A = this chain, B = another copy of it.
Amino acid sequence: MNDSEHGRRTIRDVAKAAGVSISTASNALNGTGRTNAETREKVKRIADELGFRPNALARGLLTKRSHAIGMLTNDTYGRLTLPMAAGVSEILVDHGVSLFLCATNNDPRLAKLHLDALLDRQVDGIIFTATRIDLEPPPELLKLRIPVIYAFAQGPADSVSFHPDDAQGARIAVQHLQALGRSRILHITGEQNYLAARIRADAYRELAGPSGRVMFGEWSEEWGHSAIDEVYSQSGPKPDAIFCGSDEIARGVIDALRDRGISIPEDVAVVGFDNWEVVSKQTRPPLTTIDMELKELGHRAGLAILGLSRGEKLEPGIERLPCRLFVRGSA
């Protein structure tokens, strides 16, 4: 009689076993409509015994809410993306929402493919993340009927974006060095065509004043090395502190300084950026650095997309989340 073991239990099975109609079962389980407390408990108990779980596809089809959101990212090996994704997921799972991960490899064709698939699945919203805050999102993203959040990326004017507060991050780095009594602070950072690099450099300049010097280069350890070579092969005053644009650069800087017999932090204090622990904890001395709190950024993005998908209105614009200073040995 029971159409038992060949598939999942449906609400039919629950209703039949409880001796009520399907609608009553549904109402009892969801607390909607009017139901007698007694039958409600009974239905719930039986559903539990049967291990009933509602089919999300059917539910989504009817309610127009799939309780799934898509995350579109342009990188694959991302040390930036993954912490954010973890943060997003952490928030979503508590609200019964699942996450589709779509890596586009910076390929527009792939981006379109993924985006179409997400729309076909009726996702309630999309989070777009990137490896740099000034990367253009795929154009299709701009005219969707579902909400979109930009995390570590910049959307159009009326959209909601979350960025780390690069300027504030740079400021607390420089202020920390100044509080240590350093006055000849150098800034060695990555490529100038990265907006984040320019923002940080500007913030640095404001605090460092006329004695400040910014060296743009690459986001690599090697650049840290050769930057130091450059500085120390020239004549003129030497820095007593260096603020680096990334932990990798900082590591190159520290290695190069040590090669020259310069002791850290006594002779030169060094501050990094990223708090990428696999680097920052392994340098000698361990790196004092700025953490962008990417997981928290993911949390915020997750909460935002949840809100939007429920129809709430959000202030458009770029919200900048504060960075945090991690003091270790290098400064």
Contacts and interface: CB of A to CB of B under 8 A. Distances in A.
B121 A68 contact: yes
A27 interface: no
A118 B103 contact: no
Contact of A93 (B83, B93, B117, B252): B117
Interface stretch (A17-25, A54-62, A147-155, A193-201): A54-62
A61 B122 CA distance: 13
Given A82-B82, A282-B220, A98 B118 contact: yes
A128 to B, nearest CB: 16
A76 B83 contact: yes
B113 A101 contact: no
Most buried by B among A78, A101, A118: A101
A319 interface: no
Contacts of A56: 117, 120-122
A308 interface: no
B82 A86 contact: no
Interface string A66-100: 10100100001111001101100100010010111
A221 interface: yes
Copy total for this chain: 2
Contacts of A60: 57
A68 B114 CA distance: 12
A284 B56 CA distance: 53
Most buried by B among A55, A120, A251: A120
Contacts of A293: none
A251 B71 CA distance: 34
B55 A61 contact: yes
Given A83-B77, A93-B114, A103-B86, A120 B58 contact: no
Interface string A1-15: 000000010000000
B103 A100 contact: no
Given A93-B102, A98-B102, A220-B282, 18 more contacts: A8-B119, A54-B120, A55-B61, A57-B66, A68-B100, A68-B121, A71-B101, A76-B83, A76-B86, A77-B83, A79-B278, A86-B103, A89-B101, A89-B103, A93-B117, A96-B117, A222-B282, A252-B282
Nearest 10 interchain pairs by C-beta: A101-B101, A76-B86, A221-B282, A56-B120, A57-B61, A56-B121, A57-B57, A57-B60, A98-B117, A98-B100
18 contacts: A53-B120, A56-B121, A57-B60, A57-B61, A57-B121, A58-B61, A68-B121, A71-B101, A76-B83, A77-B82, A89-B101, A89-B102, A93-B102, A93-B110, A98-B114, A99-B102, A101-B101, A252-B282
